[in-house]
Structure 1
Amino acid sequence: MKIHTQILAAAFSLSLAAAPAYAEEEIKLTKPVMSAASQVGGSLYVTYVAAWIQAVTEKFPGLSITQEPGGSSQNVVLVSTGETDFGITASSQAYLGYYGKEWAKGVEYKNIAGLHPAFPTYMTIVTLADSKIKTFEDLAGAELAVGVPGGGSDVIAREISAHFDVVPARFINASWEDTGGLLRDGLADAVLYIAGHPAGFLQEQEVSNDLRFISLSEEQIESFLGAHPYYAPVELKAGTYKVLDDKFSTIGQMNFMIGSPDLPDDFVTALLDGVYSRVDLLERAHPNFSETRVENVRGIPVPLHPAAKRYYEERGIEVREAPAPAN
C-alpha cells in the first residue's frame, strides 16, 4: 500500500516556556520521497502508519511518504540498514535487535533511534468458550496461532513458552486476517495476540462465537517481567470484548516509531510537533492511538534521536532506557 500526501507547512522552532512557534522559512528536506515500514494487512500497524503519514506530511511542503510492508523485527532491520526511513516496532523486538539478541542472532541493529510512542499493546490468549483450554498450562501440546513470523505475537509467544516450559505442539504463523478463520474452523486451538485492542478479527469472532480469555496469575506475570524487562504489566479495560466484564491484567509493551539517528534535528523536532498536534487524527483511525502521548516515551527501551531526547526533556518528561541485557 502506498500513500502520498502533500500539504504546505512552516518550519518549527522550539520554545521551552510556551507552545511551539513557527518560523517562516521552510525546513529543507533531505529527499522529497521517504518511506515508512509497517506490516501486512490486518494489523493495527498498517492503520497507524497510514494515519501517521498524513499527520507528518501535513508539516512539510513537497514531502511524500510511502507505506511499505514489514513487521516488528523486520522494521528494525529495514531502518537500521537504510532500506526505509521510518518504521513502527515494538519494545521487545527493538530492544532485542538493538543488542543483537534472540531473533537478531548476534547482529546488533544499532542504526535506529526512537522518535515517539505510538500505542501500547496488550497480550491476550484467546480460545473458543467450549475449548478444553482453560489455563495457560493447557497450551502444552496445543496448536497456537501467533501471527506473522518475527512479529510481536510470534516473539512473545516463544519467549513465554520457553520461560514457563509450556510448549505448544506448533506455532502457527499466519496473517491476522486468516487467524480468526483458523480458530473458528478448529485449525488452531488458541490465538496469542499482542497488539492494540479491540482487534478486528476477534470482534468478528465474537459476533458468532463465545470467546474465552486465558489469564496469567500475578506471580506468573511478575516472573516473566523479571526476565524480560522490555515488557510491562498492563490492564485491558472492561468491556473491550463482550466476555470481559472486568479489567484484564496481562503483559504489554509499547509500539513506537523509529528512524535513523542521522535524521536532521530540525526535521525530527518538526515531525514530533506534527504528530503530537494531530493525535485527534490518529485517534479517529483507532481509539488506542490516543495513547500517542509524550509521557508514554518512557516505554521506549532504545536510545532516542538526540533531537527527540531534547524535545521530551525540555517538556519535563522523564526519558529512560531499559538496562542492557546480561551476556
Structure 2
Amino acid sequence: MNVLKSAGCALLMAFSASGALAQETVTPPSPVMSASSQVGGSLYVTYVAAWIDVVTRAIPGLTISQEPGGSSQNIILVSTGETDFGITASSQAYLGYNGLGWAEEQYRNFVGLHPAFPTYMTIITLADSGIETVEDLAGKDLAVGVPGGGSDVISRELTGYLGIEPARFVNASWEDTGGLLRDGLADAILYIAGHPAGFMQELEVNRELRFLQMSDDQISGFLDAFPYYAPVSLAADTYQGLSTDLQTVGQMNFMIGSSDLPDDFVVAILDAVYANTDRLAQGHPNFAETRLENVRGIPTPIHPAAVAYYESRGVQMRIAPPPPQ
C-alpha cells in the first residue's frame, strides 16, 4: 500500500502540478473507449453524456461512446471489460463487489473514480404535528411511496435499526403522498431521491414543514449496519423549511472504471471533471454535487491514482466494511 501511495504521489507531482499540462500530455489507453449509463430518459444518461463531453474536450484524441446499461448492469459491463467506464449507485456497487443481493458472483474488476450526484433521505412532517424527532414516529402513520421502492425499503431498514414501530407504512404514489400528509391521512413522509421534490415544494406553498434530523450516532450506526448507503448533506434552503444543512443518509451515484486504467489517465480525468463541474451542472442542478468531498460516499475500492489524488487534497474517503460473515 505504501508503494501505491508513493507512486500515486509521484504521479500527482508529474501530472497535477498543472491540470492543463496533464490533459495535454496524457495518452489514452485507447483512442476509442466506452461508458455505460442507462436506457433513455434517466439522469444517468444525462450525466454520462455531460461527462463524456467534459473528458473528451480535455483529453485530445479520445472518443468515448455512450452505451445503454443500468446501475447493476454497469458493474458487470465494466468488470467484464465490455465497457471502460460506467455510472452506478453505492448500494448496487457494494452488493456487486461483495457478491450479495442482485449479484450472483463477486465483481471485482472495477474501481471508483469520482462522485457524480447523491440521493438524499428526508423525513418530513407538518410543523404543527407535534412530531419533533425521529423517535416520535413510533405509533405514527409513515408514508413511504410505492411498494418496494427505495423509500419503502429504507424506511423499514431505518425504523428496524432504530427500534421504532410506526403504526403502519402507507404506500402510495408520490403524486398522492403530499396530499396524504396535508389531509391528515399520514403523519410523516420518508423520501429518498433527488431534491427538490415537486410534491414537497407544493406542500410548502400552504403548509409549514418540519425536517427531522437524525443524530450523528444514529447516522454512523445505520451506515455500519447498512454500509451500501452513504453519508450525505442536503443543502440549507433547498426548501423553505430547511434553514440549515440536513445531515442524513442516501446513495451516492458515482463513476467507475476498469481496474487497469493507467494512473496518469485517471489523474487527467479527475483534473478535467473537477475543473468543469459548472459545465456538468448545465445538464442538471444535481450534477453540481460532483464535489471532491462527496468521494466519501463511494463504498467500494477507489483507483490507486485517485486515492493519491484525494489524499493530496486532504479529502476523506470511506471504504465500507465487508458484510458480516
Deviation at 1:110, TM superposition (A): 1.7
Alignment of 1:69-88 (within 5 A): 70-71=70-71, 73-88=72-87
Deviation at 1:86, TM superposition (A): 2.6
Deviation at 1:278, TM superposition (A): 0.7
Which residue in the other structure is 1:263 paired with?
A: 261
Alignment of 1:184-263 (within 5 A): 184=178, 192-200=190-198, 202-203=200-201, 206=204, 213-216=211-214, 220-229=218-227, 231=229, 233-263=231-261
For 1:322, the aligned partner's letter is A
User: CA 1:254–1:131 in structure 2 vs 1: closer, same or farther (change >3 Å)?
Assistant: same
User: CA 1:62–1:252 in structure 2 vs 1: closer, same or farther (change >3 Å)?
Assistant: closer
Question: Is it true that 1:326 corresponds to 2:324 in the alignment?
Answer: yes
Percent sequence identity over aligned pairs: 52
Q: Is the 8 A contact 1:146 1:192 kept in 2?
A: no
Which residue in the other structure is 1:32 paired with?
A: 32
Instruction: Please give the root-mean-square deviation of Cα atoms over the aligned residues, in Å.
Output: 4.2
Deviation at 1:171, TM superposition (A): 8.4
SS at match of 2:93: helix
Which residue in the other structure is 2:50 paired with?
A: 51
Q: Distance in 2 between matches of 1:63 and 1:168?
A: 55
Deviation at 1:239, TM superposition (A): 1.9
Which residue in the other structure is 1:275 paired with?
A: 273
Instruction: Indicate which of 169, 174, 179 corresponds to 1:180.
Output: 174
Alignment of 1:103-142 (within 5 A): 103-104=101-102, 107-126=105-124, 137=137
Q: Distance in 2 between matches of 1:64 and 1:77?
A: 18
Which residue in the other structure is 2:96 paired with?
A: 97
Q: What's the TM-score, normalizing by structure 2?
A: 0.71
Describe the superposition over 1:67-124 as per-residue Cα deviations: whole angstroms up to 9, x where unpaired.
63523x44434433445433323333322321123x2366322222100122344211
Q: What's the TM-score, normalizing by structure 1?
A: 0.70
Q: Distance in 2 between matches of 1:272 and 1:158?
A: 37
Deviation at 1:198, TM superposition (A): 2.4
Q: Distance in 1 between matches of 2:323 and 2:37?
A: 27
Which one has a larger percent helix, Structure 1 or Structure 2? 2
For 1:323, the aligned partner's letter is P
For 2:321, the aligned partner's letter is P
Q: Distance in 2 between matches of 1:226 and 1:261?
A: 26
Which residue in the other structure is 1:309 paired with?
A: 307
Q: Distance in 1 between matches of 2:227 and 2:316?
A: 18
Worse-superposed segment, 195-204 or 91-100: 195-204
Deviation at 1:320, TM superposition (A): 4.9
If asked which structure has higher relative contact order (CA below 8 Å, sep 6+), I would say: 2
Gaps of 5+ in 2: 1-10
Describe the superposition over 1:254-313 as per-residue Cα deviations: whole angstroms up to 9, x where unpaired.
332112213344432322222122112123344443342334433322111233234334
Q: Distance in 2 between matches of 1:183 and 1:223?
A: 29
For 1:113, the aligned partner's letter is V
Worse-superposed segment, 49-58 or 243-252: 243-252
Q: Distance in 2 between matches of 1:253 and 1:31?
A: 33
Which residue in the other structure is 2:145 paired with?
A: 145
User: CA 1:212–1:302 in structure 2 vs 1: closer, same or farther (change >3 Å)?
Assistant: same
Q: Is the 8 A contact 1:38 1:45 kept in 2?
A: yes
The count of residues paired between Structure 1 and Structure 2 equals 306
Q: Is the 8 A contact 1:123 1:194 kept in 2?
A: yes
Q: Is the 8 A contact 1:38 1:49 kept in 2?
A: no
Q: Distance in 1 between matches of 2:202 and 2:65?
A: 31
